[in-house]
């Protein structure tokens, strides 16, 4: 029955993809290629062997099986670099409370918020969590996502964090998609530790993280550094544990207030600082120095009816790479369209279209440490690319709320064909 059959039975993408165009700045070729230049992508053994204009196609590729790109526009496979995809239940009731005037912080302090998803996640079995997350993942993949980050953080106890991370790994295998797991044990204080924050952080840094890392379940470590979550000192304690284990860190930073979390994360060489609505100039310069990616999450901004826009112009001026992600989660961003996020990054945050497209490809890959394998169409990389039935690249951010029927090559297989 299931969606992942689609991957198991998907045909090989090997051969010469011709009659396509290449989206600017998202491919690497030795030859000049404009947005309207007829181009080819050659796939061999599941990898990109060559990319460039049709006229420059080496003769040795002439005899390969041919795939007609039908004039479509090719981008790299999309990268959704910040999600909380695995959780139990949903929180539509809280949405109604916020509409009636309660703030996100008030809902959290009243025992709703993250903690209510923790209850539902703890109650669910591993198989139930898989069954709930699978259709969500299928929707993201159907829009061309080829790599996705999935965080824990709704278990907040060793066995339940393990359960979430195991589901994340299983999803990657079942769907044939690159999944990077992030341990977010320090997402919220579980109710049983009320008033004992330090004890919980000791558990996260001293027991949970080392145990889950030893099981191969952790690719990176994240913390929610905020007034309603964890302090700078607590964040640093978790980062130190990550550093001892050789794991990269990232941070939910400056979402609701400026804690100068980004500067701390930069000192630990963070892959990314995420949300960053209240990011300061100090934080920007620290991120620039560390090479951290700024991950913009317009879905959470929108759902919380936030008005504090991240400091886009200053990030741009400092040359900090900006990624754009869904932040899919049941509380603040129950969104399953990365293209919608690209559109909202333009409209709400004033990214340019090329910035938004780099945000959901190249820079998203970098935020996950995947810059050598994802986010760019280039020879030598695994074949992940999407062919879009659009006239120009700007259409990818211009249309919103629709799902362009695209052709998707993921992990060297044709997993979807445009109608």
List contacts with Fe ion (CB under 5 A): 327
Sorted by sequence, the CB contacts under 8 Å of residue 413 that are 6+ apart come out as: 7, 10, 11, 12, 13, 46, 176
Q: Which is nearer to ligand NIG, 113 or 248 (CB)?
A: 113
Alpha helix ranges (H) inside 100-208: 104-109, 114-123, 126-142, 158-175, 197-203
Out of 130, 183, 224, 385, point to the residue binding ligand NIG (CB under 6 A): 224
- Residue 155 binds to ligand NIG (criterion: CB under 6 A): no
The answer to the question of residue 113 lying near ligand NIG (CB under 6 A) is yes
Of 233, 363, 240, 235, nearest to 292 (Cα)? Answer: 363
> 128: Cβ–Cβ under 8 A, 6 or more apart, which residues?
88
Strand partners, 147: 79, 178
**183 is an interface residue for ligand NIG by CB under 6 A:** no
Does residue 252 interact with ligand NIG by CB under 6 A?
yes
| Residue 255: contacted member of ligand NIG, Fe ion, none (CB under 5 to 8 Å, by partner type) | ligand NIG
Which CB sits closer to Fe ion, 333 or 361?
A: 333
Q: Which residue is nearest to ligand NIG (CB)?
A: 331
DSSP codes, 41-76: EEEETTEEEEEEEGGG--GGGTTS-EEE-TTPEEEE
Across-strand partners of 150?
181
Q: How far is CA 82 from CA 220, 382, 419, in A?
A: 12, 22, 30
The distance of closest approach from Cβ of residue 89 to ligand NIG in the complex, given in angstroms and rounded to an integer, is: 11
User: Does residue 132 interact with ligand NIG by CB under 6 A?
Assistant: no
327 is a contact residue toward ligand NIG (CB under 6 A): yes
Verify binding: residue 114, ligand NIG, rule CB under 6 A: yes
Nearer to ligand NIG, 12 or 90 (CB): 90
Q: Which x/- pattern over 198-217 shows residues binding ligand NIG (rule: CB under 6 A)?
A: --------------------
Stretch that binds ligand NIG, among 10-18, 113-121, 347-355, 370-378 (CB under 6 A): 113-121
CB 167 within 8 Å of CB 99:
no
- Angle (CA) 297-243-321 rounded to 5° is 30
CB of 244 to ligand NIG, least distance (A): 25
User: In this structure, are strands 145-151 and 47-53 parallel, antiparallel, or unpaired?
Assistant: unpaired
- Strands 178-186 and 385-388, by their bridges, are unpaired
Cβ at position 235, least distance to ligand NIG in Å: 13
Nearest approach in angstroms of CB 69 to ligand NIG is 37
Enumerate binding residues for ligand NIG (CB under 6 A): 113-114, 117, 224, 252, 255, 300, 327, 329-333
């Amino acid at each position: 029955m299931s969606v992942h059959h689609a991957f198991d039975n998907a045909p090989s993408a090997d051969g010469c993809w011709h009659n396509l165009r290449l989206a600017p700045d998202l491919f690497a070729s030795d030859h000049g290629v404009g947005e309207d230049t007829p181009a080819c992508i050659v796939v061999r053994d599941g990898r990109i062997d060559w990319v460039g204009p049709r006229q420059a196609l080496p003769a040795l590729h002439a005899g390969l099986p041919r795939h007609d790109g039908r004039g479509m526009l090719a981008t790299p496979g999309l990268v959704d670099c910040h999600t909380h995809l695995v959780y139990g239940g949903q929180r539509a009731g809280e949405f109604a409370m916020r509409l009636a005037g309660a703030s996100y912080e008030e809902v959290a302090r009243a025992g709703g918020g993250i903690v209510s998803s923790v209850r539902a996640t703890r109650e669910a079995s591993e198989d139930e969590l898989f069954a709930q997350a699978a259709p969500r993942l299928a929707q993201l993949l159907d829009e061309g996502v080829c790599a996705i980050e999935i965080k824990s953080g709704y278990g907040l106890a060793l066995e339940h964090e393990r359960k979430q991370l195991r589901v994340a790994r299983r999803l990657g295998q079942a769907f044939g998609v690159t999944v990077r797991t992030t341990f977010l044990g320090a997402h919220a204080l579980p109710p049983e530790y009320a008033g004992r924050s330090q004890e919980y952080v000791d558990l996260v840094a001293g027991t949970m993280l080392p145990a889950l890392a030893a099981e191969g379940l952790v690719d990176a470590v994240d913390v929610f550094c905020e007034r309603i979550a964890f302090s700078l000192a607590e964040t640093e304690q978790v980062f130190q544990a990550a550093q001892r284990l050789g794991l990269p860190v990232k941070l939910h930073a400056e979402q609701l207030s400026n804690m100068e979390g980004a500067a701390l994360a930069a000192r630990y060489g963070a892959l990314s600082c995420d949300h960053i609505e209240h990011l300061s100039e100090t934080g920007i310069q620290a991120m620039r120095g560390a090479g951290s990616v700024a991950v913009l999450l317009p879905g959470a901004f929108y759902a919380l009816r936030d008005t504090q826009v991240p400091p886009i112009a200053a990030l741009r001026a400092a040359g900090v790479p900006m990624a754009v992600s869904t932040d899919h989660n049941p509380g603040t961003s129950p969104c399953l369209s990365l293209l919608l996020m690209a559109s909202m990054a333009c409209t709400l945050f004033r990214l340019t279209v090329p910035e938004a497209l780099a945000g959901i490809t190249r820079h998203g890959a970098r935020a996950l440490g995947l810059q050598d394998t994802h986010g760019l169409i280039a020879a030598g990389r695994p074949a992940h690319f999407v062919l879009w039935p659009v006239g120009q690249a700007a259409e990818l951010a211009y249309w919103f709320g629709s799902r362009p029927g695209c052709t998707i090559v993921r992990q060297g297989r044709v997993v979807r064909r445009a109608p």
